[in-house]
A and B are shown apart, each in its own frame.
Chain A
């Protein structure tokens, strides 16, 4: 009968579509690397975050250990408050310090954790005190020009 034949083909079609979705989810997206593990949140204040965005990576020694959760402005200290969620599998000493770095010359910015030496580890809700701002290219250039201008002009060679 024609109907049962159709059934098989439609079934195959649906199977193919499901396989395609599975391929997209597993091979091209990061479903397998998706983090279902527990995380803990820490915050820090930066003088300048440069181009850091929510969702940026938090790395230690180049390995991703968490993500930037939220960025907002602290009205009291006039600094940027960055909230990060770190994987519970990675614990860092309480006196660890943060830096905002750029991957490559023009790559995206991320937060780097350098572990400190404290006996106690960071817990949920802790605040990391030692931070270093992002390098803003314009400031750097401005500083360079300023220093250049302050230098005494090179003596003209006598004719």
Chain B
């Protein structure tokens, strides 16, 4: 193959990639713009909150509980070596509120809710339902994507708060009830070390950003999926992989920005 053909191929690939990015950015701007109108059609959003939020509650609660258990155990083993087992509450609360709550909740949400969003919209695409909507002069972005986007933005921060709260209770169960760390020290160390705005507030900000990323990636992958069974399958896979990687990368950036002091 000649050099020019190689260069031409590279150029075409770059150009296609740029076009994809541009399309994604345009769709994201459109979805954010449509948040207000979507919320005004509340029944649509409500059904999606029910589907994305309520149905994810079980997995979020159970995982939160077990993450709390493990944090309690591991934290205790490490802390008691330095004779500061009373700091267990602080350790559990800070790790959950700052990092594990938002990140793990977002990863679970990407697997549980994001995948089903992508599959649903991809199947709508392959079943030509989206084209049918367009034919009837109904904008699919406004009617199908926007309510799901708004619902994801509502559901994930709430799920993240539930995850952190249940996790702290799990740490309490293992640390105080099973191992026997002093209950007063557990809570008072936690309260003196956790700041409402710096820690809890930043955790919630993080989960809102993750909600935006996960829901948007899921919707985009479904919307641009190739309208074949394989296309929907690979779109679902890509949705989960990309959403998870985006969450982890964003987490690093956000942490560096928030807690750099």
Interface residues of A (CB under 8 A from B): 3, 6-7, 9-10, 12-14, 16-21, 23-25, 27-31, 33-34
Contacts and interface: CB of A to CB of B under 8 A. Distances in A.
A9 B54 contact: yes
A10 B53 contact: yes
A44 B93 CA distance: 35
Interface residues of B, number: 32
B43 A20 contact: no
Which residue among B50, B157, B204 has the maximum number of chain A CB atoms within 10 Å of its CB?
Answer: B50
Contacts of A31: 196
Interface in B42-97: 43, 46-47, 49-50, 53-54, 57, 93, 97
Contacts of A3: 43, 47
Contacts of B165: 19-20, 23-24, 28
Nearest to A8: B50
Given A14-B158, A25-B196, A30-B196, A6 B46 contact: yes
Interface in B152-193: 154-155, 157-159, 161-162, 164-166, 168, 187, 190-192
Contacts of B53: 10, 13
Given A29-B191, A30-B195, A7 B157 contact: no
Contacts of B50: 6, 9-10, 13
B200 A13 contact: no
Contact of B164 (A6, A9, A10, A24): A24
Contacts of A9: 50, 54
A31 B199 CA distance: 12
Contacts of B190: 28
Contacts of B195: 29-30
A25 to B, nearest CB: 5
